[in-house]
Structures are given as C-alpha cells and as structure tokens.
C-alpha cells in the first residue's frame, strides 16, 4: 500500500456492533481518510451511518465494490469474509479482517500491535485480527513473558454478550425484563437463558471436549506470542454482562516474578493500565472499562500452589481492544511504517 496523505477506507459489515465501533474509532483517532465506504448486507443497504458530521449511505456488499480502495476493515462473520476478502485483496486492498477465517493461515499475520506489530509488514494483502478474548490476554502476557519466560497459561473467560452481536444484547435485555416481570423467557441467540445465568454457548469438539472459542484462544495465543510450544488451556463462559470481557489468568514462569515486579512491568508496558489496590478493594470490572482503550489488570497475586506462579484479573472492552480498536491500531501502524 502506497504512502498517502489520506486513504480510501472501507468497512465490511458496517452496520454490526463491531463495524459501528470501527466508524467511531476512525473518527475519534482522526485516521487520515479521503473517503469512507460502508458495506453491509442487502438487508442493511440504504441505511445511513454518521461519520465526521455527515451521513454516509451503506451500500450492499458485493465482489466488485473494492476497486480503488486502499484499506478494508472487515467486521463480517467468517463465511462472508472467506467469500469477499480474497476479492478485496485481488483488487489491491489491504484487508484487516476481524473474523476467524484467516487467523491460523500460516502466511497471514495475526496481529496485536503491542505484542507482534513488527510482523504487519509481512502481510500479503490480508492481516488477521484475533479473537476478542485472545487480544486482551496477550497484551499483559507479552511483558511478563519477555521478563520471565512463561511456561504455561490457564485462562478462564467471563465474556459479555456483545461478543455475539446486537441480537444477543437485545436477548439479554428482553430476558431480564421477562424474568423481573415473571414472564416466560425466550431463547433465540443462545440455547440457554443468559439472563441471571452463566452459560457455555459454543459447540464442543467430541474428541477434545473443548469449544471452538476455547480452541481459538489456545492456538491464537501461541501464534501471536511466537511460541508454538507454549502450554495454554482455556475455559470460556458467557455471562449476563452487556459489554467488556473479564479473564482470570494463571501463569507459570521459568524465572520467579513477585507481584510487585509484575505490576511494575505491566505498568510500563504499552496498552495496559494496572488498576490494583487490594487494601482499598480496587480492581477493574467490566462496567468500569466500557469505552476504554487499554487492557486493565488487577488482583496480581502469587500462586503458591506451583513454582513461579502468578494470578491476574484482566478486563478489556471487547468491542474496542478486542475488535475494532485493535484493527484500527493495525491500520495506523501499517500506514506509519
């Protein structure tokens, strides 16, 4: 992609929660845009989205809309991404794709800029954005790994419903109203009630017992960290929270790190805010972090059950650092370099 004063930028899936977040972040961060193109399904075509004080019409996504566009931010599902991303790349666009379609392709860089931003330049037209839970996990892992070499990661996620889209957020709202009104609860997005409940809503692999979401975290973490032999295991839970994911993270390191050393390393690392004062009961919660760009870390403490073990509580806005913001940060690094 040639260096320019401003770029032709497109968003695929512009009317979804991630797509709309991308529009807002591009405007917030004053990304150099000559023209913003918004694409979505036939159903959403004709609607408008506000950007920089004007309304932009959403056009129907098709295979021939990418000519003349420099950069495409993908916010579609993996099926649509597999269908349209190759056409965009063939037309000369650089695609930063938020779906799982290309993440584990060997020749497609999977990027979190604070961790492996130097690999952006290796792209061949497609750059993958990781799973939202993986993105917030690897940001604090990076400085700790550099200092003490992580051997093993055990993560349990507490994921908000916004990770499943607008319909899931509406379902949580509707179910909550129904429960409080003593009415029957309807389940459309999730197979089980999510209001006042915690569920696993992904199909499990019959051989491993792991869900697709858990497998994504395991494999994507290894790829982003550049450590294929890193031992990672995950349990993913959907909780009745509208926005922001929490993660309980346990790590074992080769070199001992005490909690104060870990806090100091995390405090100096890019993209991290340490919010941790046990004496005053200060720690990050999903509600605190809505709209924040950084990954927040709290409850840093020693795990005495293993040699060189640490516990962390990690919270981030899944629609920002977990998706839209990370994609825009990749784009910023791309045009800068």
How much is the pLDDT for 204? 80
| Residue among 40, 308, 313 nearest 150 (CA) | 308
Q: Is 123 annotated as catalytic? A: no
- pLDDT tens digits along 1-23: 788 999 999 999 999 999 999 99
- Whole-number pLDDT of residue 208: 87
Q: Residue length, the chain? A: 337
Neighbouring C-beta atoms of residue 193, cutoff 10 Å: 17
Distance of CA 278 to the CA centre of its chain: 28
> What pLDDT is recorded for position 1?
75
Q: Which two tokens stand for residue 74?
A: 């993908």
Helices (H), the chain: 17-28, 78-90, 113-116, 132-148, 166-180, 212-225, 259-268, 286-289, 325-336
| Domains parsed from the chain with CATH numbers | 7-129+323-336 (3.40.50.720), 134-318 (3.30.360.10)
Per DSSP, the three-state class of 35 is strand
Share of the chain above pLDDT 70, in %: 100
Rounded CA separation 280/230 (Å):
35
Q: What is the pLDDT of residue 312?
A: 98
Active site residue 245: yes
Each residue's pLDDT tens digit, 273-322:
999 998 899 999 999 999 999 999 999 999 999 999 999 999 999 999 99
What mean pLDDT, rounded, does the chain reach?
A: 96
Over residues 252-261, the mean pLDDT reads 96
Indicate the pLDDT class of residue 140, thresholds 50, 70 and 90.
very high
| pLDDT score of 202 more than 80 | no
Read off the tokens for 87. Answer: 């056409």
Eight-class DSSP state of 188: S
d(CA 336, CA 120): 11
Per residue in 88-130, pLDDT (tens digit) is 999 999 999 999 999 999 999 999 999 999 999 999 999 999 9
The pLDDT of 201-219, averaged and rounded, is 88
pLDDT of amino acid 254: 97
pLDDT of residue 201 exceeding 80: no
**CA atoms of 195 and 274, how far apart (whole Å):** 30
Which two tokens mark 53? 């004080």
| Structure confidence at residue 2 (pLDDT) | 81
Q: How confident is the model at residue 205 (pLDDT cuts 50, 70, 90)?
A: confident
Confidence of residue 236 (pLDDT cuts 50, 70, 90): very high
139-156 burial code (b ≥16 CB/10 A, e <16)? bbbbbbbebbebbebbbe
Q: In the structure encoding, which two tokens stand for residue 96, read together?
A: 């930063």
Q: Which residue has the tokens 């909780």?
A: 239
Residue among 93, 245, 304, 311 flagged as catalytic? 245
311 in helix, strand or coil? Answer: strand
Tell me the Ramachandran region of residue 299: left when phi exceeds 0, alpha when psi lies from -120 to 50, beta otherwise. Answer: left
Q: Select which of 93, 123, 132, 145 is catalytic.
A: 132
- List pLDDT tens digits, range 30-78: 999 999 999 999 999 999 999 999 999 999 999 999 999 999 999 999 9
Give burial (CB, 10 Å; 0-12/13-18/19+) of 253.
buried
Q: Rounded to an integer, what distance in angstroms lies between the CA atom of residue 105 and that of residue 224?
A: 12
Q: Is 51 exposed, middle or buried (0-12, 13-18, 19+ CB in 10 A)?
A: middle
- Is pLDDT at 235 greater than 80 in this prediction? yes
Average pLDDT (177-195) is 97
């Amino acid at each position: 992609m040639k260096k320019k004063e401003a770029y032709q930028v497109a968003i695929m899936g512009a009317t979804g929660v991630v797509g709309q977040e991308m529009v807002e972040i591009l405007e917030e961060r004053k990304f150099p845009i000559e023209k913003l193109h918004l694409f979505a399904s036939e159903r959403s075509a004709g609607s408008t989205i506000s950007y920089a004080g004007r309304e932009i019409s959403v056009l129907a996504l098709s295979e021939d809309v990418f000519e003349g566009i420099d950069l495409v931010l993908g916010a579609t599902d993996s099926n649509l991404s597999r269908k349209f991303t190759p056409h965009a790349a063939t037309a000369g666009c650089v695609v930063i794709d938020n779906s799982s379609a290309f993440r584990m392709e060997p020749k497609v860089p999977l990027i979190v800029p604070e961790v492996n931003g130097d690999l952006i330049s290796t792209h061949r037209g497609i750059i993958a954005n990781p799973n939202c839970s993986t993105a917030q996990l690897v940001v604090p892992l990076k400085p700790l790994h550099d200092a003490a070499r992580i051997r093993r990661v055990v993560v349990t996620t507490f994921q908000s419903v916004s990770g499943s889209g607008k319909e899931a957020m509406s379902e949580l709202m509707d179910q909550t109203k129904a429960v409080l009104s003593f009415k029957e609860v309807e389940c459309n997005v999730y197979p089980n009630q999510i209001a006042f409940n915690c569920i696993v809503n992904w199909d499990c692999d019959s051989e491993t017992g792991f869900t697709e979401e858990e497998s994504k975290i395991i494999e994507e973490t290894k790829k982003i960290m550049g450590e294929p032999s890193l031992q990672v295991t995950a349990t993913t839970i959907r909780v009745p929270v509208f926005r922001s994911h929490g993660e309980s993270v346990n790590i074992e390191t080769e070199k001992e790190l005490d909690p104060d050393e870990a806090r100091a390393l995390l405090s100096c690392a890019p993209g991290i805010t340490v919010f941790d004062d046990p004496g005053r009961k200060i720690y990050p919660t999903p509600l605190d972090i809505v709209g924040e760009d950084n990954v927040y870390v709290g409850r840093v403490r020693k795990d005495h059950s293993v040699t060189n073990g640490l516990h962390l509580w990690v919270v981030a806005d899944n629609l920002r650092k977990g998706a839209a913001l990370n994609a825009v940060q990749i784009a910023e690094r791309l045009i800068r370099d």
